[in-house]
């Protein structure tokens, strides 16, 4: 442990190397060091998948819930009842295809953090993932606290005026009380997150992602009229409330804009080095060559340069191709993601890249291949590349850090 710390200090001569929570639990510090080691010293990048064990496009059966038909396809969903019965989470497209779980697994706190069923199901799936030593990341598609509507403003059909939602949930705002209740719920839930041995499970918390886009109520657009300062205040308030007021000490904090053109774009909403452990970027291709792979490369460069300058962990917190483009562009994970990372400093300076969940509810959105998908064999090339890391090599690298 000591040797490893010294190595990191040499690599990061003039920057801090601790989580922004100085009272972070030992497990959280360990997670931080693991992510930092992949950011700083390796030609390796962890692979992550959102909802990897919650949704599965292939191989499901009862008691998994069967999704709605969509273009002749239906996926599966791990049911609340399965969580209540403590059933195994055996459905995982990445594992079906590669034989391993992803190294990083994403979950979402959901629109309503008070939903007891969601809380229980998430906690159960996280316990299973933590037992496998996977890295947990949590996004938050929070319903609009003002209107109660969906997080996407174009799907908020409540008709409620949502001007300045951020100001209204901050202290002195008329919805601050409600927002604090939501953070209280998250805090209570986080403090109870345990693996099977009873250890507190650390997670990367990634609230208010893609704020540079106009689609969420916390983003900037004409309906909400939020400002960068509003956003920074909200982010800082959220960290301080969870960490200092509620004493949650098993979180690392991630800041992850959507597409940006420059470092100053990237930092426009940045709440500051004291509030962020991980700098991320969400990047979606609309179609196979739109935007170009070069555009992705440039943004990866902006991200890794900025994270490096601030001494932060770097990651591609979401990447994929829209409209089930993987169905036709089978080599996507090699020629649109991995090649782009290799050509710059991506694989040396990114801790992980994460694909979105194969979610089949009202429609099926596929981001990674499932067993039987035409992109399966191309994905095995990605999996077998020396630079990608899945469950098993993550476990052995973490073991080395502890021994070292
Ligand atoms: C990473 O890869 C580059 C290019 O192949 C090589 O020059 C460098 O030595 C490698 N670094 C490590 C730590 O393996
Ligand atoms: C919403 O409320 C704001 C602030 O009170 C006001 O300026 C704006 O005109 C309202 N918008 C609509 C569409 O009513």
Question: Residue 47: inside a domain, yes or no?
Answer: yes
User: Stretch 128-139: mean pLDDT, rounded?
Assistant: 98
Question: Residue 59: inside a domain, yes or no?
Answer: no
Taking CA atoms only, the protein residue closest to ligand 1 atom 2 is 43
Separation of CA 391 and ligand 1 centre (Å): 22
Beta strands in 213-287 (DSSP E): 251-255, 278-285
Ligand 1 pocket mutation pick from 40, 43, 45, 339 by most atoms within 8 angstroms of CB: 43
End-to-end CA distance of the chain: 5
- Give, for 301, the enclosing helix (H) or strand (E): helix 293-310
Q: Which two tokens stand for residue 320?
A: 């994929």
CA-to-CA separations, 347 to 4, 36, 388, in angstroms, rounded? 20, 13, 8
Instruction: Say if ligand 2 is within 6 A of residue 5 CB.
Output: no
Q: What is the pLDDT of residue 4?
A: 46
CA torsion through residues 82, 86, 87, 90, sign: positive
Q: How many domains does the chain have?
A: 1
Question: Residue 34: inside a domain, yes or no?
Answer: yes
Q: What is the pLDDT of residue 359?
A: 95
Question: Residue 83: inside a domain, yes or no?
Answer: no
Instruction: Say if ligand 1 is within 6 A of residue 43 CB.
Output: yes
pLDDT at 341 over 60: yes
**pLDDT category, 404, cuts 50, 70, 90?**
very low
**pLDDT category, 344, cuts 50, 70, 90?**
confident
Q: What is the pTM of this model?
A: 0.94
Separation of CA 220 and ligand 1 centre (Å): 40
Question: Residue 72: inside a domain, yes or no?
Answer: no
Q: Comparing 44-53, 301-310, 337-346, 373-382, which segment has the lowest mean pLDDT?
A: 337-346
Q: Comparing 64-78, 216-230, 259-273, 309-323, which segment has the lowest mean pLDDT?
A: 64-78
Q: What is the pLDDT of residue 261?
A: 96
**pLDDT category, 45, cuts 50, 70, 90?**
very high
Report the C-alpha gap between 392 and 133 in whole angstroms.
Answer: 9
Q: What is the pLDDT of residue 59?
A: 86
Q: Comparing 29-43, 46-60, 101-115, which segment has the lowest mean pLDDT?
A: 29-43
CA 125 from chain center: how many Å? 15
Domain range for residue 395? 2-53+90-403
User: Stretch 283-308: mean pLDDT, rounded?
Assistant: 95
Report the C-alpha gap between 160 and 168 in whole angstroms.
Answer: 14
Q: Which residues pair with 364 in a beta bridge?
A: 360
Question: Residue 67: inside a domain, yes or no?
Answer: no
Question: Residue 71: inside a domain, yes or no?
Answer: no
Instruction: Say if ligand 2 is within 6 A of residue 160 CB.
Output: no
Taking CA atoms only, the protein residue closest to ligand 1 atom 14 is 43
Contacts of 297 (CB under 8 A, 6+ apart): 340, 343, 344, 346
Asked whether the beta carbons of 205 and 138 are under 8 A apart, the reply is: yes
Helix ranges (DSSP H) in 80-191: 80-84, 93-98, 116-131, 165-169, 176-191
Taking CA atoms only, the protein residue closest to ligand 1 atom 11 is 43
Q: What is the pLDDT of residue 394?
A: 94
Separation of CA 163 and ligand 2 centre (Å): 6
pLDDT at 348 over 90: no
Asked whether the beta carbons of 200 and 194 are under 8 A apart, the reply is: yes
pLDDT at 299 over 80: yes
Per-residue pLDDT tens over the stretch 88-126: 999 999 999 999 999 999 999 999 999 999 999 999 999
Asked whether the beta carbons of 19 and 311 are under 8 A apart, the reply is: no
Report the C-alpha gap between 391 and 347 in whole angstroms.
Answer: 17
Percentage of the chain surpassing pLDDT 70?
94
Per-residue pLDDT tens over the stretch 198-243: 999 999 999 999 999 999 999 988 899 999 999 999 999 999 999 9
* CATH code of the domain covering residue 21: 3.20.20.80
Asked whether the beta carbons of 94 and 57 are under 8 A apart, the reply is: no
Report the C-alpha gap between 214 and 262 in whole angstroms.
Answer: 18
pLDDT at 356 over 60: yes
Separation of CA 308 and ligand 1 centre (Å): 17
Report the C-alpha gap between 306 and 310 in whole angstroms.
Answer: 6
Question: Residue 63: inside a domain, yes or no?
Answer: no
Taking CA atoms only, the protein residue closest to ligand 1 atom 1 is 43
Cis peptide before 139 (omega within 30 of 0): no
Report the C-alpha gap between 107 and 105 in whole angstroms.
Answer: 7
pLDDT at 170 over 50: yes
Q: What is the pLDDT of residue 177?
A: 98
**pLDDT category, 16, cuts 50, 70, 90?**
low
Q: Comparing 5-9, 26-30, 61-65, 354-358, which segment has the lowest mean pLDDT?
A: 5-9
pLDDT at 137 over 60: yes
**pLDDT category, 10, cuts 50, 70, 90?**
very low
Please provide the average confidence, as pLDDT, over all residues in the chain.
Answer: 93
Percentage of the chain surpassing pLDDT 90?
86
Q: Which residues pair with 47 in a beta bridge?
A: 353
Q: What is the pLDDT of residue 3?
A: 43
Taking CA atoms only, the protein residue closest to ligand 2 atom 12 is 161
Q: Burial-class residue 27 by CB neighbours within 10 Å (0-12, 13-18, 19+).
A: middle
User: Stretch 314-343: mean pLDDT, rounded?
Assistant: 96
């Amino acid at each position: 442990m000591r040797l490893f710390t010294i190595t990191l200090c040499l690599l990061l001569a003039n920057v801090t190397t601790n989580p922004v929570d100085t009272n972070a639990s030992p497990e959280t510090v360990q997670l931080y060091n693991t992510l930092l080691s992949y950011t700083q010293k390796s030609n390796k990048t962890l692979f992550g998948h959102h909802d990897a064990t919650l949704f599965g496009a292939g191989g499901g059966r009862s008691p998994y819930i069967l999704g709605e038909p969509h273009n002749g396809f239906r996926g599966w969903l791990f049911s609340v009842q399965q969580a209540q019965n403590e059933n195994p989470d055996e459905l995982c497209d990445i594992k079906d295809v590669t034989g391993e779980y992803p190294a990083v697994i994403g979950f979402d706190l959901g629109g309503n953090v008070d939903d007891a069923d969601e809380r229980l199901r998430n906690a159960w799936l996280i316990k299973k993932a933590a037992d496998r030593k996977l890295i947990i990341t949590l996004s938050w598609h929070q319903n609009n606290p003002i209107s109660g509507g969906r997080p996407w403003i174009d799907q908020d059909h409540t008709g409620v005026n949502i001007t300045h939602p951020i100001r209204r949930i901050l202290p002195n705002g008329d919805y601050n009380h409600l927002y604090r209740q939501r953070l209280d719920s998250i805090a209570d839930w986080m403090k109870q997150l345990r693996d099977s041995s009873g250890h507190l499970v650390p997670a990367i918390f990634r609230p208010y992602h893609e704020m540079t886009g106009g689609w969420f109520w916390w983003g900037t657009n004409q309906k909400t009229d939020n400002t960068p300062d509003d956003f920074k205040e909200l982010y800082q308030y959220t960290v301080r409330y969870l960490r200092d007021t509620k004493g949650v000490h098993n979180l690392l904090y991630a800041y992850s804009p959507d597409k940006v053109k420059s470092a100053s774009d990237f930092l426009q909403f940045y709440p500051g080095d004291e509030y962020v452990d991980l700098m991320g970027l969400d990047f979606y291709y609309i179609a196979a060559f739109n935007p170009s792979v070069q555009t992705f490369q440039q943004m990866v460069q902006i991200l890794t340069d900025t994270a490096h300058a601030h001494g932060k962990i770097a990651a591609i917190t979401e990447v994929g191709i829209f409209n089930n483009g993987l169905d036709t562009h089978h080599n996507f994970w090699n020629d649109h993601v991995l090649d782009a990372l290799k050509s710059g400093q991506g694989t040396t300076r990114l801790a992980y890249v994460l694909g979105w969940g194969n979610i089949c509810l009202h429609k099926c959105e596929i981001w990674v291949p499932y067993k039987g998908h035409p992109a399966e064999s191309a994905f095995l090339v990605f999996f077998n590349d020396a630079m990608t890391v899945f469950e098993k090599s993550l476990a052995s690298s973490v073991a080395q850090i502890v021994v070292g």
